[in-house]
Structure 1
Amino acid sequence: MSDLGALEKMRQHLEGALEKASPEDLGPIMGQLGRVNLELGDQQEALISLMAAHILLVAKGQAQAPTVEGWLYNLRQDMGEERFMDAFHKALPQAGFLLVRYLGRREAEAAMEEFARIKGGK
């Protein structure tokens, strides 16, 4: 029970940290929030946070991008392809909303465009 309580406190701390974070810190914090949500068993919330984090980290060329990509991969394996893709399509607009909420529309759109440019080239 104490582990669950500690994880819940960590989630609340990270959610509060998002409110004060610089654009450079948002991706890493969102990634950690996704990891905590995974540990709490909240796959949908984890997916939203991890997707938003991944977009930001890739777009900004930050070093944590492969770690977050690994967490997304593990979540995909745990959920199974069909369930993951269903959750992914539901989470994508919410991840975009998170980016707009914390970055503003213009910077969020720029991050999503840069992510698409980088990932589209692969």
Structure 2
Amino acid sequence: MTNLFDDSQKKVLHVAPSKSLRPLFEQKLGEGYITADLYRKDVTVKMDITDIQYDDNAFDIIICSHVLEHVFDDKKAIREFYRVLKPGGEAFIMVPITVEKTFEDASVTTPSERLKYLAKKTTCADIEMIS
């Protein structure tokens, strides 16, 4: 996310925005910073991330931290993120990992294989892992 503030014309979707980061993002990105949440009232738009009401290729960056684990159809939400993300855009999606819910498949042994598996399951062909 180091290039986030390099271009004030970027359009950023921040799902369930953190109260600590929001003021900085609003200051640096201005009108291009869109906050969204299904339940909160202090956001730009009320949004169900499994049915995003924006055109294809609408956002340069999507930030979604600790939300997908609360969504019934997380794969549909990821497909929606992919749809509204511009080609070459970046999605920063963070989810908690616990031993009870960690993906396990003995045939999938490397991070790149896990990424291919996720891409296949969500129909998002050009997912890239940044570590």
TM range (shorter): 0.3 to 0.5
Q: Greater relative contact order (Cα 8 A, min sep 6): structure 1 or 2?
A: 1
If each structure's strand is expressed as a fraction of its own residues, which one has the higher value? Answer: 2
Question: Normalization by structure 2: what TM-score?
Answer: 0.31
Question: Normalization by structure 1: what TM-score?
Answer: 0.32
If each structure's helix is expressed as a fraction of its own residues, which one has the higher value? Answer: 1
